[in-house]
Chain A
Amino acid sequence: MPTDPFVHLHVASGYSLRHGASSPAALVERAAALGQDALALTDRDGLYGAVRFVLACRDAGIAPILGLDLAVHPVLGEGGRPGPVGSRVRRTPAGRLGSGPTLAERTADRGVARPAAPPRRTPVRGGSEVDPRHARVLLLARGRTGWASLCRLVSAAHLGLRPDLGTGAATGTGPPVGPDPRALDPRGRAPEVRRGSPVTSLEVVAEHADGLVLVLGPESEVGRALAGRRPDLAEAALAPWRAVFGRRLAIEVVSHRARDSGLAVTDLSGAPSRGLPYSSVSAARSLAFARDHDLPAVLTNAVRHATRDQAPVVDVLDAIRRLVPIDSRHLDRANGEGYLAEGAHMERVAQEVVHLSGVTGAVERREVQRLLADTRALADACRLDPVADLGIGEVHVPELDLLLPARAAGRSSLVRDRGPAALATEALEADRHLRARCDAALTAYLDRARHAPHEVRDRLDAELATIAALGFAGYFLTVGEVVDLIKGMDVRVAARGSGAGSLVNHLLGISGVDPLAHGLVMERFLSPLRRALPDIDVDVESARRTEVYERVLERFGGERCACVSMRDTYRVRHAVRDVGAALGMPPGEIDAFAKAFPHIRARDARQALDELPELRSSGLGRLAARGELDGFLTLVEALDGLPRHIALHPCGVLLSDTTLLDRTPVEASWMGFPMSQFDKDDVEELGLLKLDVLGIRMQSSMAYALTEIERVDGVTVDLDTVPLDDTATYDLVKSAHTLGCFQIESPGQRELVGKFAPETFDDLITDISLFRPGPVKSDMVTPFLKARQGWNDPVYLHPDLRPALEETYGVVVFHEQVLRIVAVMTGCSLAEADEVRRSLGSPDTQPEVRAWFYPAARARGYDLVTIERVWEVLRAFASFGFCKAHAAAFALPTYHSAWLKAHHPAAFLAGVLTHDPGMYPKRLILDDARNLGIAILGLDVNASEGTYSVERVSPFDEPPPEILGERPRRPQDVPGLPDGSAYGIRLSLADVKGINAAEVERVVAGRPYGSLSDFWHRARVARPVVERLVVAGAFDSLYGIGLSSPVRRRGRVTRRDLLLQVADLDRHTRATTRAARAAAPRGRRSVPLGTGPLGAATLGLGTDTVAAARRQAQGPAAATAAADLDVQLALDLGDAPGEVASSGLPEMTDAERVRAELEVLGLDASRHVVDFYVPMLESLGVTRSRDLLHRRNQSEILVAGVKVATQTPPVRSGRRVVFLTLDDATGPVDATFFEDVQGPYAATVFGSWLLLVRGLVRRTGPRGISIRATGAWELGVVHEAWRRGGIPAVAALLDADTGTLSEGDDGAIAGRAGSRSTRPVMSPPPGAAPGGYAAARLSGEGEHGGPAAGGMGQRGSELAGEERAERARRVLVHASGFRQSPYADIKPQGVDAADTRGQVSEAMGAARAAEKAEGQAEKKPPPSKLWHSSPGSSGW
């Protein structure tokens, strides 16, 4: 018996985007705490939170009720009179549909019609208002039918599906009311269907009314009319709804006990205004209305937040939703009463409302009871069962008929009704078919397999038996079908994940890795003990991923197939931006504030300001410490984790039978794919079959490289048949020059492969597995490397375990090894062992496993010491290790990419540059190409494509030994590096800032160009883009603009001359267009209907979710065909090469050219940025990357370069460690900043682009080297000092900061040394700390220090600045004892290091701001120095 019988029937969670303030879980928790035994979730516009809510209810023992709060078009005509259902009319420009005058017209003469509102002007600034406050109705689901209706209704509302073309089950209520085709915009979208915020109509609701209960509340038309004291209008608005829902209709009574002035609120035109819908008076009127019309009334609280104190958050959400600053005009709430109140409170509200409704005495008491009882009765009727009603846990795979066209051919149509018997037959048939497909592939496999045929057959039989037992044959056939589809499109495809362990997958062609050859086990992937759908992930070329989606959708149809969505939730940056906007902060300030944070959770904002040294010492940190930002930060933290945006999941595709749309609501993604409102986790809980089709840019890069090889060299390479034992490939990997290679290009991996020196494919698998959080955290790398390098003998826990652990020198690396260890020690099956492995991951189940493991191992005769040791390893391994099958699947593209880099470096890097796969900026890849001897060919309108293309460079084109005192780059004396000097890479037009795909296409199609004006007229590229092309040198070859020389030759044109020419051309074009426009009044700018990217078919307003979703596609706009290139004659402006008059403008200096390249392309193509600092670097004795290996251990050095990456990976000590990678033109330099130097230097590291770093060298192996940084400075500042005062000035600058460095205590240094030696390696965990990632606090210098002094409460206002290093520090502690800094592994503050253009513009902005700050008093320096030129060059 519940302690609180009240049930809230109208509850919005955070999944009502920018409306609700609490998560479903928080609401459930609150209801449970109040003792309520049921709770509804009725989010706006969607069922996003439904699954989470139902699961939370299940856990809390509460009955879930699901509903929907939906915006609907008014049913009343313009004059406030109802149109008959189904015959309402729309205004059209040409007149009216339907016959006769409308009711509005007929009533116009009675003076109640509202005058037609004048069309609103487009605001000159600030944008139009959003959130038009539509009327809303509440719908509650009853039973399975109700849930299905809810899902279908949501889909229909979002996709603008029309009842007349219904769902196949259309019942034909009323005549069809399709949208007026003329009301569609050119892209074929119904105008009122705005993606993400649907407004639907009575007709659509009526279509899906089965099993739904309608509740009309204060926001409904009825409610608004009542609040406006127009019961006549309320009655009129009620009638059409009542006609549809009959007895399944209730009036909602809501009182937030707001004051009502008592004045009638109507505007002069007679239309009801909003009134005060949540006042007790309005509520009383609603109640009386219900009684008058013999309708049940229910009491709700229109809940938007779980507790009262969250009311201010709701204000922020209102402001964010409406994109306006907080102001009483924009807020929906009157007070803080819209919370999940206790029953006693609701009873008081009921009494108040009933009292105001005018009844007294015994009637009054009875009325109160009746109101509460009716509420309870409706709640009881709407309770849902997760399994029976929502179908959680059911498995639905596409019908076999669909997979086997031959089978279907024997029948007239697909069998839609699949009863249990039919399903059972289908399953048997699927099993048979799966075996047949495997058998067919078996012969070919046996030819190449290393294993004996009987072993292979046994394995296959075992796998098939498992699949049959689980009834998953249809699943495998479906995935096989998808992979076949993809391969049929000639798209590169690879399986990833544990699926690679299955022989069936290999035989079906899903996975390219031979599981038997690499000792992969099936049980890790699919176990007869678990009836969860296995995960098969498929990697495809990223550039063609959407194409693959389209093909899959087409094959399976919108009724069986949808994409999966994901929810972006508020993290600190977005929260700061939205709260800042709501509070009306200046935009520039909001931006600065947001960018100051790393990408942490919003709720940690305050702590980050206090903990991160660079934030603490900033102005923001100081304001926060004084409490001046408290109000702001409280709101920021309150937004934490609320969903803010629904987006297409990057890979999930749902496949099911035709009942899919009964079980999941679908909306359109931005690109126009039908997308389930459920996310990955929800979908898994529901048991929907999800296939991950992930776009991998490396696959696109490799595909591109292959086409370039074929185009340039005429060689066709089939990567899939390349042998896996190529020496050149492993030599390249061993050289650690693996930039661009899949999985092994990060700084840590480059260090690891340098030491590991992989020589076989299995080595690659191991390498990839070692560089994972799991192995790193449980310290596997050091013993492994020591054993591999022969320094130590491998140590085996027990001789019996040797077979399992031999491949990794006794170190546990793979999940598969854990399975084998458990199986050997206890004698259980591998499937059971996998269950054990899963249980090890959770601290809750670990003791159970332990209690089972010890006796089982004892029974097998192992001694306690061995068992203890093995257990320790297993425990530390927890769930961490890595699945070997997964690693093997990864290793294949890794090997392929390394093979390409070793044999076709230019084509490979061109592919990498084109598809931008890595973690680094493109300019670093470009520099890598230079270092391999590949020529970098500049942008050229007559040669550049939309991609980075490879060109052969003849030996005559090769650079002479020395140009302008600079040595050309040659492959260094590193063994294993390929020589690419026969090739060049031509820069791509697509990277020109602001150019669009259509322009690129026109430029390429129109080649060759004879002059700038020829280009101008035929390529028709926007002026700013042409100017960028000019300054980036795209016309240099056309005009013979060569290398800069101090003296300009007479008659030579400069890029600046061409810029002027562009201005002339633009002026001329404007003049002629103006003239032309005057002559012909109307241009042909409008796009004809139905000729959008998706073709005329999209106009058909079908029921198909695919077509419907496409109508809502908002981008990316397809390129307009280049077919209609004008053959307009180029105006002869006399700008043919050689004819342009010199303007007397200086040619761009080298430095200006590089700056232009950085701004236009994000690349320094002609020279390396660092080149401009070479004189200073040499005079300061700065060590270059290529010379690093010659530096002694522990010597202090300076390094300098462009920042290409910063990482804050998790390290064992639980501290934040910042890894910085610089590029200094001779290669990458990696430096590590530990906490002691972060205080003074972190802001510089995160905020600068060019850096000088001081540090101590630490040698870690023959090719292993790392730098422990002791300081970092902006290179420009150092250069300024050097230019003014030479070396002494620089020394003074560097010394000035030394005082702030502290070495920390011994423990800190020891820990540091451990993590420094090899980045991923950590010393073993000191002790077990149970509990997931529990937040712990370490004091002072970490685990060796005393207890946290002061703790959180004493956020030191009395402690200032650096002294606060001693205060408490948060650490996350994992089940295995691993400690992690809360700031590890998050994107750092500022602009992404891979975004060169962003960083450059940021740096420029800073330079400009600094200049302005200098004020008018001093002479302004020449503006905007990005970097400082060497003294020789002019113009700076």
Chain B
Amino acid sequence: MSRSQITRGARLTQADLAPHGAGLREDDGCPILHVDMDAFYASCELRSRPDLVGLPMIVGGDGSRGVVTAATYEARKYGIHSAMPMSRAKRLCPDVVILPPDFALYTEVSAGVMAVFRDVTPLVEPLSLDEAFLDVSGAIRRMGPPAVIAEDIRSRVHDEQGITCSVGVASTKFVAKLASTNAKPDGLLVVPPDRVVAFLHPLPVGALWGVGEKTEEALLRLGLTTVGDIAHTPVDTLVRALGQASGSHLSALAWGRDPRPVEVPEAEKSIGNEETFPRDIDDPEVIRRELLRLSEKVASRLRQQGYAGRTVVLKVRFADFTTITRSRTLRSPTDVGREIYATASALLDALGLQRARLRLVGVRAEGLVDADEAPRQMLLDEPELGWREAEQAVDRASARFGRGSVRPARLLGTGEDDGFGGAPVAPRPRG
């Protein structure tokens, strides 16, 4: 495809962006934007550490047992990428600068960025702290064509937050996402509807949204290496190879068909917290204590937002990064830390772990309902004022004296204010 049709942001000229030019603009019919911050955590850090600009730098957990959570482009040149063990990163680049993560900062920057998006359109679908889909159909009259809007967003994010982002502009969500990936770093890529197929087909199959490692392997074995190969394979064949749903879905994607609209997350469907241990842990005591802490925190967030959860999900990631989740649905929804802990703890027991080393545990409440409407199962011998009331009292104390001022005895001495520390988990829309 030629440069004139897919334009990198850096090459945009004023003429290109003229809002009322004659004839069809190439960004006609491309109302979907995917905005993705470049090396988000690292960029946030660089705002306050300009001395590190241009050096290989990574953000990650402490010591050699943590994981890289973000890497600057300079660091990526050494082969470092996120989710890589810290010790490997250090081996690849012994001189790399390592900064501890500051999630409060990232949350704050993220909120600022999302605010910029919502100024443009209410149709914002955040994927995580650092990326979101935008449907700008309604803003075109007000702000100009999508490419102009995109460039505007890029400038505002840079001006207001001091970090760069890349934007993909296309007719569908998944093409927009591929486009932003292709524009990285600090770029803009418009894929007009009539160029979608030409854009997609040379891409490797793994680039398609939803093609994981296993599917990729299956496709490669059949000699399908590019999206174009998939597109030109009979749907029947794909279905035979991958099953009904993903076979036809992939075929549609390969032709650029993706009906999924940008969806504003209505309400939180789950509340969860997880914690990566500073080092892999096999001590059941420590794991249980962590579960208790996470359960208390989840319950506190539930109460804060007036929810009760029906299903408790335990997430466990092992030293080798394999991850499993187990869930149990309660008879009635709960917002009581004790109950969540008891359930999570039982789920952990069921795993029968003996020598397994854990990298991360997480607790999540799903099936959220309004706490006031939640039916409460009264037990015969339950005291009138139970754990729920006790925990509400803790909430009030926390509000007054600070978080962690009152906590279970088992969590004493686990750090001054870190009783509720750890990595926050951004609520993710499911599906």
Contact = CB atoms under 8 A, between A and B. Distances in A.
Contacts of B81: 1412-1413, 1415
Contacts of B216: 1423
A124 B73 CA distance: 38
B85 A586 contact: yes
B352 A121 contact: yes
A592 B87 CA distance: 11
B355 A123 contact: yes
A60 to B, nearest CB: 41
B88 interface: yes
A589 B237 contact: no
Given A587-B320, A1056-B222, A1416-B184, A126 B355 contact: yes
Contacts of B283: 327, 329
B241 A126 contact: no
A619 B91 contact: yes
A587 B356 CA distance: 13
B240 A1143 contact: yes
B57 to A, nearest CB: 15
B181 interface: yes
Contact of A1145 (B226, B237, B322): B237
A1044 to B, nearest CB: 11
B25 interface: no
B221 interface: yes
A1302 to B, nearest CB: 25
Contact of A124 (B76, B204, B351): B351
Interface string A1028-1062: 00010000000000000000000000001001100
Nearest to B353: A123
Given A126-B355, A1417-B184, A1056 B223 contact: yes
B236 to A, nearest CB: 8
B62 interface: no
B222 A327 contact: no
A1060 B240 contact: yes
Contact of B87 (A589, A1059, A1144, A1415): A589
A1420 interface: yes
Interface stretch (A246-254, A620-628, A670-678): A620-628
A1415 B64 CA distance: 22
A1059 B350 CA distance: 38
A1435 interface: yes
B65 A1145 contact: no
A1063 interface: yes
Contacts of B184: 1416-1418
Given A325-B282, A1417-B73, A623 B220 contact: no
Contacts of B224: 1145
Contacts of B354: 120, 123, 126-129
Contact of B92 (A128, A619, A1148, A1417): A619
B99 interface: no
A324 B354 CA distance: 10
A1064 interface: yes
B88 A592 contact: yes
B178 to A, nearest CB: 9
Q: Which of A125, A1148, A1413, A1419 has the most CB of B within 10 A?
A: A125
Given A586-B319, A1056-B223, A1143 B355 contact: no
B94 A622 contact: yes
Contacts of A1435: 223, 225
A1419 B203 contact: yes
Interface in A1386-1430: 1409-1410, 1412-1413, 1415-1424
A329 B286 CA distance: 12
Contacts of A1423: 204, 206, 216, 220, 225
A126 B353 contact: yes
A121 B350 contact: yes
B324 A1060 contact: no
A1240 to B, nearest CB: 19
B65 A584 contact: yes
A377 interface: no
A1147 B222 CA distance: 9
Contacts of B65: 584-586
B237 A1031 contact: no
B91 A592 contact: yes
B88 A129 contact: no
B212 interface: no
Interface in B166-208: 181-182, 184-185, 203-204, 206-207
Contacts of A129: 354-355
A1145 B319 contact: no
A619 B94 contact: yes
B85 A588 contact: yes
A324 B284 CA distance: 13
B90 interface: yes
Contacts of B229: 1146
B79 interface: yes
A620 B355 contact: no
A355 to B, nearest CB: 36
Contact of B357 (A126, A619, A623): A126
Given A127-B355, A1412-B81, A1417-B184, A1146 B93 contact: no
Contacts of A1004: none
Nearest to A1417: B184
Contact of A1144 (B85, B94, B220, B237): B237
A586 to B, nearest CB: 4
B420 interface: no
Interface in B61-95: 64-65, 73, 76, 78-81, 85, 87-88, 90-94
B8 interface: no
Given A589-B85, A1417-B73, A1420-B204, A1143 B237 contact: yes
Given A1031-B221, A1409-B79, A1413-B76, A325 B352 contact: no
A584 B182 contact: no
A330 to B, nearest CB: 9
A863 B331 CA distance: 108
Contacts of B322: 125
Interface string B37-66: 000000000000000000000000000110
Interface in B349-376: 350-357
Interface in B213-232: 216, 220-226, 229, 232
Given A324-B355, A1422-B204, A1143 B234 contact: yes
A1151 to B, nearest CB: 11
A619 B88 CA distance: 9
Q: Which of A1416, A1420, A1424, A1435 has the most CB of B within 10 A?
A: A1416
B233 A123 contact: no
B298 to A, nearest CB: 23
B87 A586 contact: yes
B222 A623 contact: no
A413 interface: no
A133 B229 CA distance: 59
Interface of B: 64-65, 73, 76, 78-81, 85, 87-88, 90-94, 181-182, 184-185, 203-204, 206-207, 216, 220-226, 229, 232-234, 236-237, 240-241, 279-280, 282-283, 318-320, 322, 324, 350-357
26 contacts: A121-B352, A123-B351, A123-B353, A123-B354, A124-B324, A125-B324, A126-B282, A126-B318, A126-B357, A127-B354, A130-B355, A586-B88, A620-B91, A623-B90, A626-B94, A628-B94, A1056-B222, A1060-B241, A1143-B236, A1143-B240, A1144-B232, A1145-B224, A1415-B81, A1420-B204, A1435-B223, A1435-B225
Interface of A: 120-130, 322-325, 327, 329, 584-589, 592-593, 618-620, 622-623, 626, 628, 1027, 1031, 1056, 1059-1060, 1063-1064, 1143-1148, 1152, 1409-1410, 1412-1413, 1415-1424, 1435-1436
Given A619-B90, A1418-B184, 9 more contacts: A120-B352, A124-B352, A584-B357, A586-B88, A592-B88, A592-B91, A1031-B221, A1413-B76, A1415-B81
Q: Which 3 A-B pairs have the closest CB atoms?
A: A126-B356, A121-B352, A1413-B79
